[in-house]
Structure 1
Amino acid sequence: MDSSESLYQIWYELTSGIEDGIVILNTLDIICHLNKGISQLFPVTRENYVGRQFDEFIEEVVLPVIKNADSISPNGYHLISSTLKDQDLYIFSGPGKGQSVEFSILEKNDSDYHWKMGYFRRITRWKKTEELLIRIEERFRIIFENLFDSVAMYPVDESFYPGHFIEANSSSVKRLGYTQAELMRLSPADILPPEEFGRFLSFIKNFRISPVQTAEFSEVTKDGTIIPVEITALVVKIRNEEFIIQISRDISDRVKIRQLQMNAFEQINRNIEQFAILNDRIRNPLSVILTLASFSETPESTRIAEQVHIIDSLVDELDKGFIESEKVRKFLVRYFQADT
């Protein structure tokens, strides 16, 4: 047995238990060995192709059972081609039906031996995983782009100073009035009023204490419009880098309602104060009238005294209303947290 035959015998022993398809070639690109993995992938037997050119094997066995074979030039598989690159193949027929393989050529050339190997590596599991990841990414992208709230992502340095946006959904682009490309050149500092940025820095530095933060700020659009927003943000770590995912909700309606509440509370306070003042202003003249009426005992005086007592009873009712209004005010302050 010469050295080349000894080498092929070693290859036979090494490759017989490998599931991947392996074809051993000599210096003339003639097939010297096919392992069992080849016959599990393609409709071929060892006896039919040992001693034949590898290009014949590709054209007669591989191309007829792979998807989109008509778009692949046989020259692409020529072993001496300097442009040969790894290619992924999907087998739709034969013993390897449903399998994906990665085709590549390995070559060894030294003073002792010169050999080549056609290697069909099974990658079905990886392809399915890749496809699953792509589907998951597509689903999250659809959700991300269709959220009503603005969502953006940006890196932070060791001091938690924010960098430029690296992701922003369609709602962010629409609300702020920038294009996607323009927004990627900005950072949170560029869309916040200058007077709020210091408070925002304190806000994100609190991530050292808690991974999620919520607070109210304002955002400035491209045309200068100021929009009140509620920002909920969380910090995530990707490959030892820290990023902040920021969800920004337009709370313009909430702020308007809050202002209406404040106006209403202020009006209630003014009304209560007027109640107290009005009661005193009514009672003082009544006391004078009643005193004057008591100086004479005439039917008119008696009539005046009766009317004074009626008016005084009405004022007592106003006092009770004042007390009830004060209770209502305290309830509203307590449960609606009015700043009164």
Structure 2
Amino acid sequence: MKLLKLFLSLASFSFLLAQSPDFSMLNEMQQPKISIKNAVLAKVHGKTITVLDIMKKMDYAFYRNYPDLAGSEPAKCQFYMASWKHVLNEMINTQLILADAEDKELKIEDAEVRKEMESRFGPNIMLSLDQYNLTYDEAWNMLKEEMIVQRMSWFRVNSKALQKVTPENIRSAYKNYLAINPPEKKWKYQVLTIKSHNEEIAEKKADEIYQLCSLEKKSPEDLRNQLKKNSDENLTIQLSTLYTADDSELSEKYKSILSALDASSYSKPQALKRQKTSETSYRIFYLDEISTKNAASFEEKYNEIENELLQQAMDQESKNYVSKLRKYYEYDHQKIELPHNFEPFSIEQR
């Protein structure tokens, strides 16, 4: 089974990066100033979270992912405004998970944190931290909290999700995949059209051409010169280009005609009487080739389906876990109600 990376949604900024606006043109703008309304946004298990706290988190994500825009105040402010509610929610959940970890006496050794510090910030840690506007202690505590959240998420979320994804579930999901992805046929065909204002002439010539095509067992292209000889002032014979169409692109009538043919064979003439003119047309269909595109096999789809089911199960288990923590630690009773239109960040022209 393909190894799925540990559940990180409670401690990552992938959502922010996916939702962030395009900042590519903002460096050329006049640099305004960011106005900040600092306030207490939440109190969780004795921990107070302020606007400045979420700014610190967002700064790290911004500098790490948009280093070329580090000096752009408009870009940073847009990032703040788009992200602060999500980051606040993450920080609340993080504090609840940390409280759970403390109750369960989960320990992260200093050596583990030190190793992660070196991996994240490189050998010259202090220089890197300056770029992210972080002190050593802030970075240490941030990484330690992330590691605790990851560890608790594995115990409380991932392990449960893994138990829910069984071979039977995967096979059932594959059957659903087959139901919405049936084999699809691809048709290559041409159409010979015989037109005349004289219905008797059109019918007779259509039968002659059908006999010619069937006896010669050649493609319409090979018979093109012979077909031209049959055209005169009372009769028009047209040969279409080679069409390629999927099942979904064919009309039911065309599909019915072509389905009755073998490759490299012709249909009997199909009469088409036009209502608005006296002209009579006959069509002869030539099926050049038919191929079938089957859905991916169970073996080809196994890992993809397994990972999708795991992600779905982890998302659900994560919601369940956080919901239980909020109830257990009575967070809703401590929740600070912010004004409906509260916006802690805005742009102020210098």
The TM-score, its normalising length taken from structure 2, stands at: 0.20
User: RCO higher in 1 or 2 (8 Å CA, sep ≥ 6)?
Assistant: 2
Structure with greater strand percent: 1
Structure exhibiting the larger radius of gyration computed from Cα positions: 1
